[in-house]
Chain A
Amino acid sequence: MYIIARNIFRFAVVILFQVLVMDNLMINGYMIPYIYLLFILLMPFETPRWIQLLSGFALGLTMDLFTGTAGMHTAATVLAAFVRPYLLDLLAPRDGYEPETFPRIHYYGFLWFLKYTLLIVLIHHLALFYLEVFQLKVFLSTLFRVILSSILSTSTIVLSQYFVFRK
């Protein structure tokens, strides 16, 4: 029960922070840190997969409503939620994830969290930015934006672990 309440609270915090603070930080007109992915990243290991998918759907849809983009965030976030279990398997330590732990720096260290975040952010951003332009003519300039934004999002998310979402 406690964990559900905490996740609903986190959902609201992450969305509001994204829309009210991050979306107003326009760096160079190219990049924007998408910190709302934190909600997907921090879900407990044993969350049933259908809940992960539906949470991703709800998260993306809320972002779409706030930013006025139709379906783009939804598609990208559902994809991120879908690949998360596979990535977790891929990055699992030798004896697997221990019970009662969460996917955080606190339990699995800086390097693990950085790899985990970077991969999910990259997949999400690739989907998001290419769905946004919806054409291959600007392939390279979009790739440039994907890479810059991914670096920015990843560093913001990792940094947030030291300030806000510590426990």
Chain B
Amino acid sequence: MRTLLRFFQKYSNMLLFLLLEIIAITIMTQGSSYQRSKLIGLNRQVTGYIYSKVDGAREYFSLKEVNERLAEENLDLRNRLDLILSQLDSATVVSEIKGEHRYYFVQSRIVHNSIYKQYNYLTLNKGKKQGVFRDMGVISDQGLVGIILESSANFATVIPVINRDFRLSAKIKSNNYAGILQWDGLSPQFAILTEIPFHVELAEGDTILTSGFSSIFPEGIEMGRIESFSLEKGNFYDIRVELFTDFQRLYHVNVIRNYRQEEQLNLENQNR
């Protein structure tokens, strides 16, 4: 008994060290992505406020650049509107568009982001009060950004393309083959498109779009272009996709609200 006590006395620091490390590793490995999202949700409510204050200053310094990009987008939209108006000659089409909105966009600003980690997250300054909920899509004027993971009253956490937990169905514009877009954790400029079978003909520079198979994004949102591809293992390509969204200087984003998401999910669940 005495030797046991002396053992504990002698190695008490070592034991404390092991205990603390075991706690830390348990937190790390037990944390599924769901628990991690809960932890982040909690942390965002506390830190979101501080971040949104600091962000005011940061935004001020990037006003010029943001302005230029908005002007560009404006021009682009005006051109497209013109094109659409010239094509709209039958009155029935107009009433159909007016009758039912399928998608609605919520303008939002990023108040905190990370890009250099393996599990990156963004924080937006809109939450449940402004109609931002779990599983809504997020895009910017450059392209796809990510999916809402969790929202509190005034803030929301986004799981961006550059997070190792991210998965989204994506297709190649030229031939409509769909695969899964995910991130390999290496560079914030590139993602990987998998599950495209070997017989598909690919070309560098082809655009990658959202497939519209999930209820989160409408079909045809641009994500990136094929940078290179290889057929290293098995029957599927590893396609490196250069992302259009520049996560390092992303400030304004739009959250997509799909009015028919619930209906679609209900139907899909019934058939399961």
Contact = CB atoms under 8 A, between A and B. Distances in A.
A4 interface: no
A65 B43 contact: yes
Contacts of A31: 116
B40 A68 contact: yes
A49 B42 CA distance: 32
Contact of B24 (A50, A54, A78, A132): A78
Given A66-B43, A71-B27, A132 B117 contact: yes
Contacts of B115: 26, 29
Contact of A50 (B12, B23, B36, B187): B12
Given A65-B43, A133-B118, A138-B185, A70 B28 contact: yes
Interface in B18-40: 20-21, 23-29, 31, 35-36, 39-40
Interface string B103-132: 000000000001111110100000000000
Interface string A66-99: 1111111011001100100000000000000000
Contacts, number: 88
Nearest to A77: B24
Q: Is the interface of B mostly helix, strand, loop or mixed?
A: helix
A69 B47 contact: no
B176 interface: no
B248 interface: yes
Contacts of A53: 13, 16-17, 20
A138 B186 contact: yes
Given A78-B17, A78-B21, A29 B188 contact: yes
A30 B121 CA distance: 16
Given A70-B27, A74-B20, 13 more contacts: A26-B116, A49-B13, A50-B13, A53-B16, A57-B20, A65-B42, A65-B47, A68-B39, A68-B119, A70-B31, A70-B35, A71-B25, A79-B21
Interface of B: 12-13, 16-17, 20-21, 23-29, 31, 35-36, 39-40, 42-44, 46-47, 50, 54, 58, 114-119, 121, 185-188, 248
